[in-house]
Chains A and B, each alone.
Chain A
Amino acid sequence: MEIVETREQGVVVFGASGRIDASNAGLLEERVLGLIARGERRLVLDLAGVDYMSSAGLRVCLLAAKQLAGIQGKLALASLQDRVAEVFKIAGLSTALRVCRTRAEATAAV
């Protein structure tokens, strides 16, 4: 997994790529929760390059969304590949979380 962090119009965008499983989800969690701890409130996770995600990755998304919801912040997910989108759906997260088709839509949604 690789993470590229950019800032677009006051929104922090994480562009992730590769596999997200239990061996590396902790790194993503550290990065995302670290930003929230430093006061960021608007986050986008762009998953365009993620071809595989297990529940360890879902957990990080859920954790971040819950933390942000408690402090008037927002998280949006963008550009999920079909199979990753299906994992979110089966986990019942495609409606509980804000899932957008594009990075631009997600940036506008947070």
Chain B
Amino acid sequence: MPGVYNRAVTSRATIILQSRLTELERLAAFVDQFGEENDVGARDLFAIKLALDEVVTNVIRYAYDDAGDHEIVVRLGREDGEMAAEVEDEGRPFDPLQVGAPDLAAPLEQRQVGGLGIHLARQMTDRLEYRRQGDHNVLTMRRTLGGE
């Protein structure tokens, strides 16, 4: 129904994941559901899903000094023409913005097999902000919707 309800564009959702790779599928389903409820296009949704997947995978694999379970909080928000995705973890300090870009032009033999995740997350989003908040890492990614 057109009208004022369409202008209520602020929407938020939160999910708490455990630090296990099997949670990635639950994360994807959560993003899909948010996208459906908030009329986010398939292309934008894929981008946000991939960026979050890469960041959360990195956290699960590298952030902790022990093998125990840790909570990872993922928040989604939609405001006007933009979607925000935030990842908060209690792992060791890590600022993905400090990671250098991989050499994409290198021939096959010289290509590194790792290090593509952060690159993808950066390419899939328009703005990234990192902050260390107490003993938590908080990474906020924003993507303008409907663009290229």
Contacts and interface: CB of A to CB of B under 8 A. Distances in A.
Given A22-B61, A52-B28, A62-B113, A87 B22 contact: no
B108 A55 contact: no
Interface of A: 19, 21-23, 52, 54-56, 58-59, 62-63, 65-66, 69-70, 83, 87, 90-92, 96-97
A84 B124 CA distance: 13
Given A91-B119, A92-B104, A97-B108, 19 more contacts: A19-B25, A21-B24, A21-B53, A22-B21, A22-B24, A22-B60, A23-B22, A23-B24, A52-B28, A55-B57, A55-B120, A59-B114, A62-B108, A66-B109, A83-B43, A91-B104, A92-B102, A92-B105, A96-B107
Contacts of B108: 62, 65-66, 69, 96-97
Given A23-B22, A52-B28, A97-B108, A66 B113 contact: yes
Interface string B19-34: 0011011001000000
- Measured as residues with beta carbon below 8 angstroms from the partner, the interface class of chain B is 20 to 34
Nearest to A51: B46
B28 A91 contact: no
A54 B24 CA distance: 11
Contacts of B28: 19, 21, 52
A66 B25 CA distance: 29
15 contacts: A21-B21, A21-B25, A21-B53, A52-B49, A54-B57, A54-B117, A55-B117, A55-B119, A59-B116, A83-B43, A91-B104, A91-B116, A92-B102, A96-B107, A97-B108
A23 B106 CA distance: 28
Contacts, number: 72
B30 to A, nearest CB: 14
Given A62-B111, A91-B119, A55 B22 contact: no
Nearest to B27: A21
B50 interface: yes
Interface in B104-137: 104-109, 111, 113-114, 116-117, 119-120, 123-124
A91 B21 contact: no
A19 B28 CA distance: 10
B90 to A, nearest CB: 20
